[in-house]
Chains A and B, each alone.
Chain A
């Protein structure tokens, strides 16, 4: 139907190297985007455990929070924060591709959609930060 097919026994089948994602910048950053989910997942488990510690009483909770202040956990959370920011930015870029928005007949440019999403994200974050600082004081 599509014409003669090549003799499969004479074909050379190249192997994809395990280090394929190190060969190109864009592949590396893709893998970092995927890896960010792991850090976010670990952070969420730690958060759930922290909330669970509230059930266990004030001493237990205080001990847990103090444990989170150790150098290891601080480094982890700093790295997790960077990954979470990267995750969010790449998420908003992806959103503009997946869901094209239209104003009447014209399509809204993707960069604008991404920019508006990031702007809203920063705005909401500032509101939450403001609430946190107000309630804390």
Chain B
């Protein structure tokens, strides 16, 4: 080790003890190949075992380690110290969520919203097992594949100012998930999702800020999913008023 150190200013909050979150400064060894998560793990292992935060795969696929790094929602396993060094790095819990403790936020609202869009294949007519699988061409897969890449990291909810101002808003990941199933050729459940997606707190709260897409680590492009959902929902509404029942 060459003795170089990086400084992290980390939010601390002890429920029942602190009235408000506060900032605590830590000095960690600076390694060129370290990410912020490595620095947090060093703090936990060698400096302050009371620091609480979520992490798991450390390779950008589980979505557990999302935090604010210098005010930007990031996966801490993908934020390299060298991109900030020698400046001090501010680590805060994801904004727009209630804080449980230190860097751990309450994600129960997010989980409820994911469930509310019925993220599973809904069929009106089931095939017998003996008839085989529901087949899908590469083009049909292409229509929704991008939106399957979501790792539920909630960076998009931290980036969305609408979610910050209107906590009832369904949010980017949940809408993208609903759109993913609506666009899946095997699914027949668009009407079942309509009440939630097409509600005031569904797609229509979105004002296309676009920050959700900017911060998404898996290039899901939730902003595109939301705007295209608006088009689909509008088309369906016109069909429902203009076409006779049998044609819809």
In the complex, the answer to whether B227 meets A26 with C-beta atoms within 8 Å is no
Instruction: List A contacts of B112 (CB < 8 A).
Output: 2
| Shortest Cβ gap from A43 to chain B (Å) | 22
In the complex, the answer to whether B224 meets A13 with C-beta atoms within 8 Å is no
Q: When A16-B165, A34-B207 are in contact, do A2 and B227 touch as well, CB less than 8 Å? A: no
Instruction: List A contacts of B106 (CB < 8 A).
Output: 5-6, 11
CA gap between A26 and B71 in the complex, in Å: 13
Instruction: List B contacts of A34 (CB < 8 A).
Output: 207
Chain A contacts with B in 5-44, Cβ cutoff 8 A: 5-8, 10-14, 16, 20-21, 23-24, 26-27, 30, 34
In the complex, the answer to whether A2 meets B111 with C-beta atoms within 8 Å is yes
Chain A residue with minimal CB distance to B221?
A97
Q: Which of B56-64, B95-103, B122-130 contacts A (4 or more CB under 8 A)?
A: B95-103
CA gap between A74 and B74 in the complex, in Å: 45
Q: B236 near A: Cβ within 8 Å?
A: no
Q: A99 near B: Cβ within 8 Å?
A: yes
CA gap between A34 and B210 in the complex, in Å: 13
CA gap between A24 and B160 in the complex, in Å: 12
Per the CB 8 Å criterion, the residue count for chain A at the interface is 25
Chain A residue with minimal CB distance to B97?
A14
| Shortest Cβ gap from B157 to chain A (Å) | 13
Partner of A11, one of B100, B221, B230: B100
CA gap between A21 and B208 in the complex, in Å: 14
In the complex, the answer to whether A12 meets B165 with C-beta atoms within 8 Å is no
In the complex, the answer to whether B210 meets A30 with C-beta atoms within 8 Å is yes
| Shortest Cβ gap from B145 to chain A (Å) | 13
In the complex, the answer to whether A14 meets B71 with C-beta atoms within 8 Å is no
Partner of B71, one of A7, A16, A24, A98: A24
Q: A105 near B: Cβ within 8 Å?
A: yes
Chain B residue with minimal CB distance to A23?
B71
Partner of A97, one of B111, B214, B223: B223
In the complex, the answer to whether B108 meets A5 with C-beta atoms within 8 Å is yes
Instruction: List A contacts of B231 (CB < 8 A).
Output: 98-99
Partner of B227, one of A24, A30, A94: A94
Instruction: List B contacts of A13 (CB < 8 A).
Output: 98
Given known contacts A12-B99, A26-B214, what 11 new A-B pairs fall within 8 Å (CB)? A2-B111, A10-B16, A10-B100, A12-B20, A12-B21, A21-B161, A27-B209, A97-B221, A98-B227, A98-B231, A100-B224
Chain A residues engaging chain B, CB cutoff 8 angstroms:
2, 5-8, 10-14, 16, 20-21, 23-24, 26-27, 30, 34, 94, 97-100, 105
Q: Top 3 A-B pairs ranked by shortest CB distance?
A: A10-B15, A11-B98, A98-B227
